Amino acid sequence: MATFSHESAFEAACQAGDIPGAALVATDTTGKFTYSKAFGKTAHGETMSPDSVMWIASSTKLMTSVAALQQVERGHIGLDDDVAKILPEYAAIHVLKEFDGEGKPVYEGRQGAITLRRMLSHTAGQSMPLFSPKLQQLVQTRDPPSAPPKTIVEEMSLPFVFQPGTDWVYGTGYDWAGKLVERLSGLSLEDYMRANIWGPLGMRLVGFSPDSNPEMKERRIGMSLKDESGKLVPTTEGYIHIYGVQKEDMYGGAGCWSSAESYLPLLQSLCANDGRVLGKELVDEMFRPQLGPEAKESMNNQLKNIDLARRVYANSFDMDHQVMDHGLGGQIGTRDEVGRRKAGTMSWGGLPNIIWWIDREAGLCGTLLTNLIPAGDVKVSRLEGLFEKAVYEQYEAFNKQA
């Protein structure tokens, strides 16, 4: 049996309380080389397993990208069409230009088109207060809502922070893309994905409402929190909405639950470009760097110089070395990472310290799930890098023996 060099580090991290546990899976394009193993327990005392179901947060985005690109493939919309006719509420939002001398917001009308390409590459112009000082200042000038928003249209209607196509900021484009899929297909996002992604790929334990599926409910595990002292404690907080309260909408940007093993078939299908859920040309387009010079420079400046950005969405790329771009579904590293990801690798993850990668050149993909908050744990990122290196080492040995 192959010895994977990362396993002792994961076992030690669990014993030391650095992480509550982790579920790790990886495979090649053929499925002949596979890895699936879990370590540790949650702070609730639940044993982690590759089929443990947890909130995957922004790992939902890759599925939403595939669903939206299926609409392009079927001729329902073009990548560079203005979405105004389909999402008029989105198109009606103004751009927050600045604040005047009295601290009042100054708005301007939208000038560029909001396109699916821009929505999926985070260049449409809409963000969220956590990642935008402008929106943080705006929220301070407004009275809090009398009740929590019930729909994506209500919740995601904050102003744009720049004109579409002129910059890069992590934002809410995927939630709107999910709404676009619903309006073009006539189905809820969950029903659409089940029929067009999860079913065809055999992604058994995945959904927006885990307790509605008895098998998912049985395997659902609790969230672990690392407190200010570094101690792991159980928590029911940290979700994008109160757990168990289903909104009228489904978040295409962060609403899904899954197990590591159930998520892997999507990574493998895109890595192999096997045409099972999306045609080869559109998969190639997903992995093509999408950013213009200004947006690319802006994204790299954020990842290199803003600690929160570097920790939360560098997704184990070495930002002292790497030059990043963005595809239609995740980040693109334009340089090799020593001993692991090749140039052109796509990666993203999710808030509870989840990281996935697809390396089409090497023919390898995988993901790590921890269900740990706060986001951007540096120890998890380091461990994920060790996991990848071990997978690449063993894959090389596997190919030599073949």
- What is the rounded distance in angstroms from the CA atom of residue 190 to the CA atom of residue 115? 23
Alpha helix positions (H), 306-362: 307-313
Q: How confident is residue 249, by pLDDT bands cut at 50, 70 and 90?
A: confident
Same-domain check for residues 318 and 345? yes
Q: Is the residue at 222 inside a domain?
A: yes
- Whether 247 shows a pLDDT value over 80: the answer reads no
Q: Are strands 206-207 and 364-369 parallel, antiparallel or unpaired?
A: unpaired
105/56 same-domain check: no
130 and 181 in a single domain? The answer is yes
Per-residue CA distances from 363 to 21, 224, 271, 285 (Å):
27, 33, 6, 17
- CB neighbours of 36 closer than 8 A, spacing ≥ 6? 24, 25, 26, 50, 260, 261
- 109, 95 Cβ separation under 8 angstroms: yes
pLDDT band at 241 (very low <50, low <70, confident <90, very high): low
Q: Is residue 198 part of a domain?
A: no
Q: Are residues 352 and 220 in the same domain?
A: yes
Using CA atoms, how far apart are residues 166 and 20, in angstroms rounded to an integer? Answer: 41
In this structure, are 107 and 38 located in the same domain?
no
User: Which of 185, 213, 231 is at the close of a domain?
Assistant: 185
**pLDDT at residue 329 is higher than 80:** yes
Question: 136-184, pLDDT tens digit by residue?
Answer: 999 888 877 777 777 888 888 899 999 999 999 999 999 999 999 999 9
Query: Which of 138, 155, 185 is a domain's end point?
Result: 185
What are the structure tokens assigned to 298, written together? 């802006």
Residue 365 within any structural domain of the chain:
yes
- Coil vs helix vs strand at 85: helix
Residue 157 bears catalytic tag: no
Query: Do 150 and 269 share a structural domain?
Result: no
Of 185, 212, 230, the residue that ends a domain is 185
Judgement on whether residues 59 and 87 belong to the same structural domain of the protein: no
Domain CATH code at residue 233: 3.40.710.10
pLDDT tens-digit series, residues 72-86: 999 999 999 999 999
Q: What is the pLDDT of residues 362-390, one digit of tens each?
A: 999 999 999 999 999 999 999 999 999 99
Residue ranges of alpha helices (H) inside 125-204 are: 133-141, 152-155, 173-185, 189-193, 199-201
Question: Which member of 52, 58, 65, 298 is catalytic?
Answer: 58
Q: What is the mean pLDDT of residues 5-32?
A: 97
Percent of all residues in the chain with a pLDDT value above 70, rounded to a whole number? 98
pLDDT tens digits for range 204-224? 999 998 988 999 999 999 999
Question: Number of folded domains in the chain?
Answer: 2
Phi, psi of 60 (to 5 degrees): -60, -30
Q: Are residues 240 and 179 in the same domain?
A: no
Mean pLDDT confidence for 98-103 = 92
137 half-sphere exposure, CB direction, 13 A CA radius? 14
Average pLDDT score over residue span 341-366: 98
Domain range for 106 is 71-185
The answer on 244 and 124 residing in a single domain is no
* Residue 151 resides in a domain: yes
* Pair (249, 336) in one structural domain: yes
The answer as to whether 300 is a domain residue is: yes
Residues 129 and 50 in one domain: no
22 lies in the same domain as 124 = no
